[in-house]
Amino acid sequence: MSGHSFSETGDSRTTSLDLAARASSTRVICLGLSALDQIWRVPKFFSGGSQKIRSLHYGTMGGGMAATAAVTVARLGGQAAFWGRGGEDVAGLEMRTALAGHGVDVAQFRLFVDGHSSVSGVLVDSSGERQIVNFRGQFPDEADWLPLGDVGAAAAVLADPRWPAGAVALFKAARAKAVPTVLDADVADPDVFEALLPLTDHAIFSEPALAGFTGSSGDAALPAIARFGCAVAAVTRGADGVTWLQNDIARRQPAYAVNVVDTTGAGDVFHGAYAFAIGAGLVAADAMSFAAAAAALKCTRPGGRAGIPTLEDCLEFQRNGS
């Protein structure tokens, strides 16, 4: 875990001020999936069977869990690096250009000549909820080209489960340098979690991922995650907030009440904001509150990355409670 000295009972206003002061020196490496999202806004989702729906709007934008987390870190004023794979195709080139345009270091976003980039189709309905179909891409699995010597300069690292070999290499290097590791635990095969969780300090699951791995999405499943040695075992629950287990104590951060416009990318924003906050030295409870504020603000704005708030937005939102 990091050597920062924040108390779990420390004053939240003080930690917020420290977060603002430390933002520009907080470097976070995010490893995993970058996808090109093709987004259709529709009045309602398919109801089943053979059916056509007229789209109200169509557009493309960069997506992917770790890639959007990296954009979140950059938007919050931190130093963000994305480590991942794509194809040297139209989608891959567009994604790398877009990430760089958001201020993300893409030196280790490798585009393979014979690879195929990940592409997602996203439907967003009138209530802001979304459905996604994703092609995860095709590229070499080896991670021996990653510059693991750079990990020691990071304040925190984040990985999603879409490139297990890369995530294991990153987390092992981070553990060797006492750099906090944050796992964006979306749905994956059990063996992926069994490899990553023993190297994870902060494991934050989605409800479907927790249910798929433990057989239950309830809070009673969190000890099954903590037993791998994770200091924080958490599950995000959308409008019901996030619950986590730390030092055998169950905790809960309620979701902020907002007018939801679009939930696309909200989970990725939560994870990116959490890793940024942990890297800047906040304790888990304060990092959860900050991440919940960032995700809530994103849901009030259309688009995935376009809706990511700034650090000033988040701190003001927390101060005002809305």
The structure's pTM equals 0.88
Share of the chain above pLDDT 90, in %: 79
User: pLDDT digit string (tens) for 100-143?
Assistant: 999 999 999 999 999 999 998 989 898 888 898 989 899 999 99
Asked if residue 99 has pLDDT above 80, the reply is yes
pLDDT at 306: 85
Residue in the structure block whose two tokens are 């007018």: 259
Helix (H, G, I), strand (E, B) or coil at 119: strand
pLDDT at 262: 79
In a domain, 123, yes or no: no
Sequence-ordered list of residues with C-beta below 8 angstroms from that of 232, at least 6 positions apart, any chain: 201, 202, 203, 204, 244, 245, 246, 284
In a domain, 213, yes or no: yes
Nearest CA-CA partner of 166 in 275, 30, 67: 30
Asked if residue 156 has pLDDT above 90, the reply is yes
User: pLDDT digit string (tens) for 25-47?
Assistant: 999 999 999 999 898 999 999 98
* The total number of residues written for the chain in this structure: 322
Query: What's the rounded mean pLDDT across residues 304-313?
Result: 90
85 forms bridges with which residues in the sheet?
110
Helix (H, G, I), strand (E, B) or coil at 134: strand
What gap in Å lies between CA 68 and CA 102, rounded to an integer? 10
In a domain, 133, yes or no: no
Structural domains counted in the chain: 1
Asked if residue 14 has pLDDT above 60, the reply is no
Tokens of 209: 């991922």
pLDDT at 227: 98
- The total of other beta-carbon atoms located within 10 Å of residue 178's CB is 11
In a domain, 302, yes or no: yes
Helix (H, G, I), strand (E, B) or coil at 83: strand
Q: 15: pLDDT confidence band, cut at 50, 70 and 90?
A: low
- The total of other beta-carbon atoms located within 10 Å of residue 52's CB is 5
Asked if residue 5 has pLDDT above 70, the reply is no
- The total of other beta-carbon atoms located within 10 Å of residue 3's CB is 7
Asked if residue 313 has pLDDT above 90, the reply is yes
What gap in Å lies between CA 249 and CA 100, rounded to an integer? 40
pLDDT at 167: 98
**Which structural domain, as residue segments, surrounds residue 185?**
12-33+64-85+145-320
Nearest CA-CA partner of 154 in 108, 101, 205: 108
Q: For residue 247, what are the CA distances in angstroms to 203, 229, 230, 231, 250?
A: 14, 11, 10, 7, 8
User: pLDDT digit string (tens) for 250-263?
Assistant: 999 999 989 888 77
In a domain, 44, yes or no: no
In a domain, 282, yes or no: yes
Asked if residue 10 has pLDDT above 60, the reply is no
Tokens of 78: 């931190």
Look up residue 63 and give its amino acid.
Answer: G
In a domain, 99, yes or no: no
Look up residue 139 and give its amino acid.
Answer: F
pLDDT at 322: 58
Tokens of 52: 């056509």
Query: What's the rounded mean pLDDT across residues 182-205?
Result: 98
Cα torsion 165, 68, 173, 140: sign: positive
pLDDT at 61: 86
pLDDT at 37: 86
What gap in Å lies between CA 262 and CA 13, rounded to an integer? 29
Query: What's the rounded mean pLDDT across residues 173-190?
Result: 98
Tokens of 169: 């290499």
Tokens of 163: 């490139």
In a domain, 91, yes or no: no
Look up residue 34 and give its amino acid.
Answer: S
Query: Is there a contact between 108 and 166 (Cβ–Cβ < 8 Å)?
Result: no
pLDDT at 229: 98
CATH number, domain of 197, equals: 3.40.1190.20
Any alpha helices (H) in the chain, and if so which ranges?
A: 12-22, 65-75, 90-101, 164-176, 190-196, 207-214, 222-226, 266-279, 284-299, 311-320
